[in-house]
Each structure stands twice: as C-alpha cells, then as structure tokens.
Chain A
Amino acid sequence: MNALRSWLATTNGRIAAAFLVALLLHLIGTTLIPGYSSPFAIRAILVLAALLAVASVGQTLTVIIGGIDLSIPFVIGFANVVAAQLYGQGWNFVLVCTLVGLLAIVIGGLNGLISRGLNIHPLIVTLGVGMIVQGLVLLWTKGFPSGSAPPAVSAFVSIGGSVGPLPVPWLVPSVAVMTALIVLVLARTPYGRRLYALGSNPGAAPLALIDPLKMWVVTYAASAFFAAVAGVLLLGFTGSAYGDVGQPYLFQTIAAVVVGGAALVGGRGSYLGTIAGVLVLTEINTLLIGLGFKPAAVQAALGLIIVVLVSLYGRERHVSQTI
C-alpha cells in the first residue's frame, strides 16, 4: 500500500494512473452502453480527444512554467472566426493560416510579456487580453461571423475520414506525432529543461542564466499558437465559424492538465500526462451523455469526477513537508 502511494506520488505514477482510469472508464462504457466500442464511437472519441489535446498544449506549457492561460478559449474563437471570415472573402487559406498564427503569437507573447515583465498574475492578464481579443473579433464581424472551412481542413478532422488503411482522419496520427515531438522537446531540448527549471524554482533559474522574461514570452506565444491551431481545426470540425466555440475549453484544458498530474504551482507535469487527462475527460463526457444524462447533469458529474480523481492521485504536500 505504501509502495503504491509513493509510486502514485511520482509524475510517472500519476500519468500511468490517469491512463488506467481512462481505460477503466472505457471498459465501464463498453459494459453499460451497447455500441460504445463500435468503430464509429471510438473514432468519435479519438477525434474529440485530439481536438482537446491540441487546445491543451498551451495550458500544459504555461502550467509547467508556473502560470496559467485563460486566453485559450478566446484565441480559439478568434482563430476560428478570423480564418473563416478571411477565407470566405477569397483569401488563400495558407496565407490565412499564416496570418492567424502570427497574430496569435503576438497575442500570446503580449500575455507573457505583461505577466512576467510586470509580475502580474497571469490569471488576470490572460483574462483581460482574451476579453479584448474576443471584443475586437465581435466588433470586426459585427457579431455575425460568416465563411466556412476549406474542404481539406474538414476532411482532415472529419470523424468519417481515413488515413490509407487506418479508419481515422489525419488529425489523429498528426496529434500522435505532435505529442511525440512535444514530449521530446520538453525532455531533451534546452527549452524544455529551462521550462521545468523556471517552473520549479523561479528564483534560482535566473542564476543558471535562464532569462525568465524570454521564457514566458516564448511559452505564452506557443500557447496561443496551439490555441489558434485548435480554432482552425474546430472550424473544419463544425463547418462554420462561431466566436464562442472555444468556451468549453477554458475549464477542460485546465482539468486535463491537472488530471494528467501537473501541479499548478509549476515545475511539474508533462504533455503525456495531459494526453491521459484528455482521454479521461473525453471518456467521462461520452460515457455520461451515452447514459442519457442531460448536459447540466453531465457538467455536475464532470465536476464531481474531477475532484474525486484529483483527490486520489493529485494531492499536494502538507505545508510541514515543504519546509
């Protein structure tokens, strides 16, 4: 029992526990709901999970550095609407994506610059910046965004899509590759090591010649960039632009990161853990909707399950253990 406890306290233990929970939820779903493990249902779960995984990249990075990013849903909505609008006006879609990506990087960089440069809690900064971005988008489209996604993007994320013999859309293997790359960057590059160093000890990291301001700007820019990617992918998924499309991702990305074992005080966490958290959340959602719960009840149950899961393996140390 004690060995199990101490194993659960390690990062790898938490990640493995989260993957086990996802698997367990899937087994429960398969027993309770006919067709839960049918190819179509599994494809749908994988696509939804992949979209959430892309949106959660930024939250993972900003949580490891010791911050949080509340602007993710607003940047998702921004990318979603702007991409559709410009493409609808006849722009080349590659150009549209480049522009949206660059703008997102500027927005994110601004988040990092203000938060770290002036030492203001990123919760407030990202919320304020996000609200400005959303307001500007609404102002530009007068509240009625138009336009649609190019067929290529829709095919990329479509649940019915396939990659050669694999019965999943290109999105799923792409997210798998992205996951491998991000894990590699976090574990094996100077950027990744600096990120963990800065997150676990913001005071000591500058002494190791880590520039905190630069790290925050880069990390928040990356966060906004991935949010923008999620926004464009969601455009393909839903087919039409919608400014509030990112709103569910505000709490879901945080929940995914935390269920995956990251600590919101920084320095701990991994993208593999976030993937596990993403799978757990998607399974819970699908399971509850499949059991016939209303959206409000699903939301309540989701809250309960997050708390139960995190109290099982996401507990923090007592203050007497931190001295």
Chain B
Amino acid sequence: MNPVIRSLGEFVRGAGFALVLLVVLLAVNLMLNPARFHPAAWGTLIGLAAPLIGAAVASAPVILAGRGGIDISVGPLMGFVNAIVIQALFLQAGISSPLVLVPAALLIGAVVGAANGFMATVLRIQPIVATLGTYLILAGVTLTILPAPVGPAPAWLKAMAGPYSILPLGAIFLLWWLVRRTPYYDQLMAVGSDDRAAYTAGVPVTKVRFIAYVMTGVLAGIAGLMLTALIGSADPNIGPTYTLIAIAAVSLGGVSLAGGKGGLVGAAIGAIAIFLLQSLLTAFNVSTYVLQVAYGAILVAAVVLTALQDRHALRGVSR
C-alpha cells in the first residue's frame, strides 16, 4: 500500500474518535452560535484555543516515549514562562524585543525540560514523581516572583493573540514534520512501544527519552508564550490549570499513555475537540457546575468509546 495512505489510515484509526467528535462539535457550534463561529471570527477562535493546543502538543513527546513517561509540569512551566517574560524581562528589565523574549522562553523551556529529562532518565526517578517535583517548584517560584497578576504584555505579543497565533502553531507542526523525517522519530516510537526490545536492538534508550523531555520543555515554552499573548498579562494562577486538561486532550487524541502510539497532530485534535466542547457548553449558558459534569462525562465517554473502537479493530485483525 502507498505509505502515505497507510500512515493516513493509521492516523484516522488513532485519532478517529476525536476527529469525529471534533466535526460533530464544530457542526453543533456552528448551528447554535453562528456569530461566534463565523469564518471571520476563526482567527480569534484559534487564538483562544492556541494555549490549550500548545499544552497538549507539548505533553505528547514524553508520553510517546513510554514506560510511564509523562510531564505534569507542562502547565506550571507555561505559567513560569508567562511570569518571567512579563514580570522579570518586560516590566523589570524593560526588554520588549521579540528577538530576546522568544529565545528566552524557548531557553527556559529547554532548561526545565532538560532538568525533567535528567531526573526521569539519568537519575531514573519515576516520571510522574520527578515532574510532580518540578510542578511544585515552578508553581511555588512563580507565585513568589509574581504574587498577583500584572500587565500589560508587549504590543507585538498581544497582537499574536488573534489570527496570528497560527504562526507559532504552524512553527510547532513544521518542527514536528521535520522530526518525523529523522531517524530519531523511529527510535522514539520504538522506545515507546517496547524499550527492552529497542535497547537490545541498540537504540540509545536514555538519550532518546532525554531528548523527548527537552522537546516537551521547548514546546511548553512556546505554549507559555501563546498563553501570554492570549491573556495579555502575567497571571500566576492560570498556568497550572492546563496540565490535566492537556493530558486529557492528548489521550482523547489517540496518544496511548502507555507510549509508542499516536502523534502531535492527534494531540492537537484532542485539544481542539475539548476547546469546542468548552465553547459549546458555554454557549448553552449553563452554570459552571453543569459544565464540569458534562466535561468529565464527555471525557470518560470519549476514552471509553475510543477503547471500544480499538477493541473492535483488534477483533477484526485477529479474525
């Protein structure tokens, strides 16, 4: 079979449910709220969804690397980048040039990612514990340097909130497209599916996993910038709320938490589905409590349906 069609087929099977959910939610949203979902408003919508997409995409590489790989510090890292960029660099040091702020955000992401990677792969602390430590440290430090929300953000960064937020998202996917073309991608998926087999086949398991953590950190840095663009200020309390939702989005998008299955596009689709769900429920003007129930219920229903679909597919194969 044509490799393009085959990988497309694999993709649809993996993220299939999220994709269906996404289309349905988009249609319902369009019907119920045509003004908000008018094509002219799509730019704004993408801007609103960008931080969640960024957080989900950032969470994916370490999950792909397998053996309990997970980074729960993604949310606080976004908040930390937000705080450093606005409070320390822009307001206190007076630096507003994107040529400094963007590399600074990426560097912070890479350093935190490398620290997580060092703990999870070299020290071999269980990833959820290592990143829990980072979570607590980053959230605590963020609150210490930024006890209350401050603003504003530099004008160029605020301008990135609308249609232009497609630029960082596009950059992320271009980067991922390039990674997929390298041998590293195959090694990552091999390590994620069966690290013992990969190790005996000569794959440098530790190095591959370490790089995955650095990638997650860098992507979380970008997500932190997108969050900063959206809120146009610095807020110490928003970042950490992204962690669990991002992991839910990743899982919804067909990335197996056991590793080795799925990709960044699936994660993004899961995130968009969750974002559409949020807007739909908000459009109904229901109380936040109903929102939360529906939110949890659809999350569970989505993973259950995905699992049933997988089981069905497996049965088809064994027959």
A residues with a Cβ closer than 8 A to B are 68, 70, 114, 118-121, 123-125, 127-136, 138-139, 142-143, 251, 254-255, 258, 263-265, 294-304, 306-307, 310-311, 314-320, 322-323
On whether the beta carbons of A135 and B293 are closer than 8 Å, the reply is yes
Q: List, in ascending order, chain A residues with CB within 8 A of B140's CB.
A: 296-303
Bound CA span A224–B100, Å: 49
Interface presence of B111 (CB below 8 A): no
On whether the beta carbons of B136 and A129 are closer than 8 Å, the reply is no
Cβ-closest chain A residue relative to B139: A299
Q: List, in ascending order, chain B residues with CB within 8 A of A120's CB.
A: 303-304, 307
Interface presence of B126 (CB below 8 A): yes
A256 to chain B, nearest CB (A): 11
B86 to chain A, nearest CB (A): 18
On whether the beta carbons of A306 and B292 are closer than 8 Å, the reply is no
Q: Among residues 115 to 158 in chain B, which have CB atoms less than 8 Å away from a CB atom of chain A?
A: 119, 123-126, 128-130, 132-144, 147
Could you say which of B130, B137, B287 has the most chain A C-beta atoms within 10 Å of its C-beta?
B137
Interface presence of B258 (CB below 8 A): yes
Q: Among residues 243 to 274 in chain B, which have CB atoms less than 8 Å away from a CB atom of chain A?
A: 244, 247-248, 251, 257-258
Interface presence of B290 (CB below 8 A): yes
On whether the beta carbons of A123 and B129 are closer than 8 Å, the reply is no
The 5 closest A-B pairs by CB, nearest first: A300-B140, A303-B136, A131-B296, A135-B292, A135-B293
On whether the beta carbons of A118 and B307 are closer than 8 Å, the reply is yes
Q: Which of B68, B132, B300, B307 contacts A303, CB < 8 Å?
A: B132
Bound CA span A26–B136, Å: 22
B 189-208 binary contact with A (CB < 8 Å = 1; else 0): 00000011001100001100
Q: List, in ascending order, chain A residues with CB within 8 A of B139's CB.
A: 296, 299-300
On whether the beta carbons of B299 and A124 are closer than 8 Å, the reply is yes
Q: List, in ascending order, chain B residues with CB within 8 A of A302's CB.
A: 136, 140
Interface presence of B308 (CB below 8 A): yes
Bound CA span A100–B113, Å: 42
Bound CA span A300–B147, Å: 14
A76 to chain B, nearest CB (A): 16
Q: Which of B129, B142, B294, B299 contacts A314, CB < 8 Å?
A: B129
What is the total number of residues of chain B having a CB less than 8 Å from a CB of chain A?
A: 55
Could you say which of A296, A301, A318, A320 has the most chain B C-beta atoms within 10 Å of its C-beta?
A296
B residues with a Cβ closer than 8 A to A are 67-68, 70, 119, 123-126, 128-130, 132-144, 147, 195-196, 199-200, 205-206, 244, 247-248, 251, 257-258, 287-297, 299-300, 303-304, 307-308, 311
Q: A300-B144, A316-B126 are in contact. Are A125 and B303 (CB under 8 A)?
A: yes
Q: A118-B307, A264-B128 are in contact. Are A128 and B135 (CB under 8 A)?
A: no
Cβ-closest chain A residue relative to B245: A127
Cβ-closest chain A residue relative to B125: A310
On whether the beta carbons of A128 and B300 are closer than 8 Å, the reply is yes
Cβ-closest chain B residue relative to A262: B126
A117 to chain B, nearest CB (A): 9
On whether the beta carbons of A307 and B300 are closer than 8 Å, the reply is no
On whether the beta carbons of B247 and A254 are closer than 8 Å, the reply is no
Q: Which of B199, B257, B303 contacts A320, CB < 8 Å?
A: B199
Bound CA span A264–B130, Å: 12
A48 to chain B, nearest CB (A): 18
Could you say which of B134, B139, B289 has the most chain A C-beta atoms within 10 Å of its C-beta?
B289
Q: List, in ascending order, chain A residues with CB within 8 A of B147's CB.
A: 296
Q: Which of B138, B300, B304 contacts A132, CB < 8 Å?
A: B300
Bound CA span A143–B291, Å: 13
Cβ-closest chain B residue relative to A255: B132
Q: List, in ascending order, chain A residues with CB within 8 A of B288's CB.
A: 138
Bound CA span A310–B128, Å: 12
A-B contact pairs, 20 of them (CB 8 A): A114-B300, A120-B304, A124-B247, A124-B248, A124-B257, A130-B296, A263-B126, A264-B68, A296-B144, A297-B140, A297-B144, A303-B134, A307-B119, A307-B134, A310-B125, A315-B124, A318-B124, A319-B196, A320-B199, A322-B196
On whether the beta carbons of B295 and A303 are closer than 8 Å, the reply is no
Cβ-closest chain B residue relative to A136: B293
On whether the beta carbons of B136 and A251 are closer than 8 Å, the reply is yes
Q: List, in ascending order, chain A residues with CB within 8 A of B123's CB.
A: 311, 315
